[in-house]
């Protein structure tokens, strides 16, 4: 067992589709360490990637092949896919439960005392989230060979392991959560059936994995407090099962990033950025417009820095490269507008050239900016890892400094080279920005070297190999 390949399941699969001018659907490979690591493994051994159709184009592909797996070739890689069309279950599964209930809870984003209220949540949980999870589980049971391991990904699929286990009691299952995890008090903001159901569902896996020790500790506490589970070192005992709760650092794929940096679109973007910077220091942030990314406080910190030292407005250029995210959720739409307003106010106060707030999904420009920055600001309220804080140092050729939130999942790994800040403290963040912008060349170089080495630790292939070893050990000890 454990040598016959993988079945991977995630909300978003490794392939998306876009409609060409002639009306046909063209496949495109997804980005990121997850696709690199797991997709690479599926090239070398048999396996299937199960995912949910996220848009109309993917839904059309799913309907064409349902309920059979199919093969798609993209960028020289072949993927065996099983794509599910969730229909009217998609909105409660994805937008209500995954993107709102679970994301807000796991990132501690609720605006108490007004929210959460719980109204309508149980229906969305039962009729959307649970049903889609059960459909994903059924697809896994259909495609998985007896000796294939199942690797589940993230908070969208917390009930899948439990349902797979009912049908296939002996199948090896690892569930990796890429977000932070919260303690029992925060998780109990959810209705009891949801909070307990999430923890119980995850414990059906042989291994529950996180990106940082703090998140693994928090999950064990939830298992103990919500379900009465017993904690035995790293392991959780519940309902006659032993589940290993572990953490695995996810770094960046240096080769993949280097290849992206050498592409023509990236080098052209780098030339344009150099012209726009016009000799000024580049203070950069690259983020999705997510509430957890703390963009607004970052803008306030830059504004405070300019209030203290107005002459910096002609010597520093703050470029905020913001990828729009979840704009169908009211809080996200309003938050992005508040960030735009703050950037406009800074431009009006200190000059239009001191800041550019760009809402774009221009990936080559993001890569180019990460290679060029003098200071990278990454100040999430909380994050599972925050790969931007690793991609920046891995790409940067300018001995760039990193101002990093101490609550980012990567802070324990990157902290020796970064300037760590309390993400809620605008004054401290402004102080750190000033320190980074005025840092001497020798210190910058030393810190940059430390950051670059830390960023590459736990590259995607090593990250996956470490998980597979732990899963094999746990299965052998059953």
Supply the pLDDT for residue 93: 97
The values of phi and psi at residue 410, to 5°, are -85, -5
The model's pLDDT over 167-202, given as tens digits with 9 standing for 90+, comes to: 999 999 999 999 999 999 999 999 999 999 999 999
State the pairing for strand pair 235-238/316-323: unpaired
At residue 306, the pLDDT reads 99
pLDDT at 33: 62
* pLDDT exceeds 60 at position 1: no
Rg of the Cα atoms in the chain: 23
Rounded mean pLDDT, 433-442: 98
Would you say the C-alpha torsion 61, 67, 71, 75 has a positive or negative sign? positive
Q: Per-residue b/e over 464-474, b at no fewer than 16 CB within 10 Å?
A: beebbebbbeb
Give the span between the Cα atoms of 76 and 99, in whole angstroms. Answer: 33
Neighbouring C-beta atoms of residue 209, cutoff 10 Å: 26
Return the number of other C-beta atoms located less than 10 Å from residue 320's C-beta: 23
* pLDDT value at 125 more than 80: yes
Q: Give yes or no for residue 2 having a pLDDT over 80.
A: no
Which residues, 6+ apart, have CB-to-CB distance to 248 below 8 Å?
A: 176, 209, 210, 211, 458, 463, 466, 467
Check: CB of residue 184 under 8 Å from CB of residue 221. yes
- What is the pLDDT confidence band of residue 413, given thresholds at 50, 70 and 90? very high
The stretch 412-441 carries a mean pLDDT of 98
What is the SS3 assignment for 213? helix
Instruction: Report the half-sphere exposure of 411 (CA within 13 A, side-chain side).
Output: 23
pLDDT of 3 over the 80 cut = no
Judge contact between 124 and 92, C-beta under 8 A. Answer: yes
pLDDT, tens digit, 9 for 90 and up, residues 199-208: 999 999 999 9
Q: Is 323 exposed, middle or buried (0-12, 13-18, 19+ CB in 10 A)?
A: middle
Which pLDDT tens digit goes with each residue over 340-387? 999 999 999 999 999 999 999 999 999 999 999 999 999 999 999 999
Whether residue 325 is predicted with pLDDT greater than 80 in this model: the reply is: yes
pLDDT in tens, 231-265: 999 999 999 999 999 999 999 988 889 999 999 99
Contact status, residue 39 vs residue 183, Cβ threshold 8 Å: no
Using CA atoms, how far apart are residues 249 and 455, in angstroms rounded to an integer?
A: 10
Residue 328 banded pLDDT, cuts 50, 70, 90:
confident
Does residue 164 carry a pLDDT above 70? yes
Per DSSP, what are the bridge partners of residue 25? Answer: 19
pLDDT of residue 32: 65
Residues contacting residue 440 through CB under 8 Å, at least 6 positions apart = none
Q: Which helix (H) or strand (E) holds 96?
A: none
Q: Can you give the pLDDT at residue 279?
A: 97
| pLDDT (mean) for 458-466 | 90
- What's the rounded mean pLDDT across residues 112-124? 81
Least confident interval from 91-100, 157-166, 322-331? 322-331
How high does pLDDT run on average in the chain?
94
Domains, the chain, ranges and CATH?
6-250+460-476 (3.40.50.2000), 259-455 (3.40.50.2000)
Cβ(33)–Cβ(252) below 8 Å: yes
Q: Which residues contact 352 (CB under 8 A, 6 or more apart)?
A: none
pLDDT at 34 over 80: no
The arrangement of strands across the sheet holding 149-153 comes to 70-74, 77-84, 47-52, 6-9, 149-153, 173-176, 207-210, 241-247, 235-238, 230-232
Q: Which parts of 144-191 fold into alpha helices (H)?
A: 160-167, 184-187
Q: Is 123 exposed, middle or buried (0-12, 13-18, 19+ CB in 10 A)?
A: exposed
Q: What is the pLDDT of residues 258-269, one digit of tens each?
A: 999 999 999 999
Answer with the residue of higher pLDDT: 41 or 54: 54
């Amino acid at each position: 067992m454990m040598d016959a390949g993988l079945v991977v399941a995630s909300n978003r699969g490794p392939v998306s589709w876009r409609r060409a001018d002639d009306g046909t659907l063209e496949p495109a490979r997804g980005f990121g360490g997850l696709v690199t690591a797991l997709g690479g493994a599926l090239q070398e051994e048999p396996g299937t990637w199960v995912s949910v159709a996220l848009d109309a184009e993917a839904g059309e592909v799913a309907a064409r092949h349902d309920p059979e797996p199919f093969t798609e070739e993209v960028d020289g890689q072949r993927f065996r896919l099983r794509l599910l069309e969730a229909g009217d279950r998609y909105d409660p599964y994805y937008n209500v439960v995954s993107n709102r209930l679970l994301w807000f809870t796991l990132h501690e984003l609720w605006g108490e005392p007004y929210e959460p209220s719980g109204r309508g949540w149980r229906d969305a949980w039962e009729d959307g989230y649970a049903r889609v999870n059960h459909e994903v589980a059924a697809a896994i049971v259909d495609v998985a060979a007896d000796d294939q391991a199942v690797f589940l990904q993230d908070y969208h699929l917390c009930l899948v392991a439990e349902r797979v286990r009912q049908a296939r009691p002996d199948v090896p299952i690892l569930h990796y959560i890429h977000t932070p995890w919260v303690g029992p008090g925060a998780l109990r903001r959810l209705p009891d059936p949801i909070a307990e159901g999430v923890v119980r569902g995850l414990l059906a896996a042989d291994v529950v994995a996180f990106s940082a020790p703090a998140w693994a500790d928090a999950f064990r506490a939830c298992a103990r407090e919500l379900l009465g589970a017993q904690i035995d070192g790293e392991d959780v005992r519940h309902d006659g099962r032993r589940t290993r709760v572990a953490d695995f650092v996810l770094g960046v794929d240096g080769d993949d990033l280097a290849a992206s940096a050498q592409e023509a679109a990236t080098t052209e973007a780098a030339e344009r950025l150099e012209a726009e910077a016009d000799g000024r220091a580049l203070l950069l942030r690259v983020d999705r417009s997510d509430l957890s990314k703390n963009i607004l406080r970052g803008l306030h910190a830059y504004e405070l820095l300019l209030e203290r030292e107005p002459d910096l407005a002609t010597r520093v250029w703050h470029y905020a490269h913001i990828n729009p995210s979840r704009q169908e959720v009211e809080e996200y739409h309003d938050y992005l507008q508040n960030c735009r307003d703050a950037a406009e106010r800074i431009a009006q106060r200190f000059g239009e050239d001191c800041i550019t707030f760009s809402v774009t999904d221009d990936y080559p420009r993001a890569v180019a900016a990460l290679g060029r920055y003098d200071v990278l600001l990454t100040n999430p309220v909380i994050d599972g890892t925050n790969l931007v804080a690793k991609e920046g140092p891995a790409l940067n050729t300018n001995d760039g400094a990193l101002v990093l939130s101490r609550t980012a999942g990567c802070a324990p790994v990157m902290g020796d080279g970064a300037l760590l800040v309390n993400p809620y403290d605008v004054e401290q963040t402004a102080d750190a920005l000033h320190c980074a912008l005025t840092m001497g060349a020798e210190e910058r170089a030393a810190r940059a070297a430390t950051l670059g080495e830390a960023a590459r630790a736990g590259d995607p292939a090593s990250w996956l190999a470490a998980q597979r070893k732990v899963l094999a050990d746990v299965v052998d000890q059953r």
